Structure 1
Amino acid sequence: MNDPERAMLLSVHPRFATAILAGTKTVEVRRQRVAAPPGTPVLLYATAPTMAIVGLARIASVRVASPREVWSASRTKAGISRREYDEYMSGALQASGLSLEAPVTLEVPVPLAALRASGSFHPPQSYRYLTGEDLRKVAVAAPDGGAALRDTLGELVRV
């Protein structure tokens, strides 16, 4: 990873978080350009009704291209139908396909209420980058004291 203090917080619908963590969805698509190097840790935030960080993965690669090219390269790995993809990408000039690897399910999710209690936390609409300090706050908010995050992310979340 180019920046050892950086990870990504990715908001996904609960069904996609479940599929990523099960390994049946290995590509997450986004309407905007994503510039994250391979190896970047990804925290998966499952949106409503779950509203919690439920697991982690790593970026294996990112493909930025036209929506048509990204679909062609990822259709069997994206976990969505062509219709859903086309509706989501409607009007987009480019797309990103984030290939994810090494998914880890947190035994105890980190709920939004706990994240907000540890400081100013706002889940992103799509994604945002987290610093080491942000990750330490997430670890403090974790019901298990951040043990699973530390085990997976190592030095990034030392508290």
Structure 2
Amino acid sequence: MSNNLLISVRPKFASRILSGKKTVELRRLRPKVSSGDNLIFYISSPDKNIKAISKIEKIVGAHLDVLWDEVKERASVTHEEFMEYFKGKDHGYAIYFSQTEQLKNPIKLESIKEIIPGFRAPQSFRYFSQTEMSNVLSMATA
């Protein structure tokens, strides 16, 4: 059974993901997902919507020096941004993704709250059940 991981990204990174320039997402904690699972992008304020879905290729965890060398061409961040994000950590994670599909109808936060009562946009990430995933995706095609 595949997992569905919803991650929050800022609009500037969302545009890099949608253009194909960014194909690695950085995280301070390792989510419980693996190759083939779904990666759902929630775009934070001011957009406040789900705009794209990708497939996870792999997750790599490493010391920051090693991780930077591995992801610097695909993460679409500067070394300064990378180090600031991981401030206070010596180890980080990279989620490699591909097959990014931009939703024809981005799903607004208000709409998500209608089908998932109590939904709050995650600071970092949250898991979607298969039912939640199906309900949300049906909104993208409506």
TM-score category, normalised to shorter length? over 0.9
Correspondence 1:53-92 to 2 at 5 A: 53-92=50-89
**Rounded Cα–Cα distance in structure 1 between residues aligned with 2:14 and 2:126:** 16
Structure 2 gaps, min length 5: none
Structure 1 residues 132 and 35 mapped into 2: Cα distance closer, same or farther (>3 Å)?
Answer: closer
Cα pair 1:34 1:96 within 8 Å, conserved: no
**Rounded Cα–Cα distance in structure 2 between residues aligned with 1:84 and 1:112:** 27
Residue among 130, 133, 139 paired with 1:132: 130
* 1:25 aligned onto 2:33: no
* 1:110 aligned onto 2:107: yes
**Offset at residue 22 of structure 1 (A):** 1.4
**Offset at residue 108 of structure 1 (A):** 1.2
Residue among 41, 45, 60 paired with 1:44: 41
**Rounded Cα–Cα distance in structure 1 between residues aligned with 2:128 and 2:63:** 27
**Rounded Cα–Cα distance in structure 2 between residues aligned with 1:41 and 1:71:** 24
3-state SS, counterpart of residue 106 of structure 1 = strand
Partner of 1:157: none
3-state SS, counterpart of residue 84 of structure 1 = helix
Partner of 1:98: 95
Q: Which amino acid is 2:79 matched to?
A: R
TM-score (norm 2): 0.92
Cα pair 2:104 2:140 within 8 Å, conserved: no
**Rounded Cα–Cα distance in structure 2 between residues aligned with 1:42 and 1:143:** 15
Structure 1 gaps, min length 5: 146-159
Choose between structure 1 and 2 for higher RCO, CA contacts under 8 A separated by at least 6 residues: 2
The number of aligned residues is 141
**Offset at residue 144 of structure 1 (A):** 3.0
Structure 1 residues 92 and 139 mapped into 2: Cα distance closer, same or farther (>3 Å)?
Answer: same
**Offset at residue 143 of structure 1 (A):** 5.2
**Offset at residue 20 of structure 1 (A):** 1.1
CA-to-aligned-CA distance 1:71-104 (integer Å, 9 cap, x gap): 1100111111111111111111321011110011
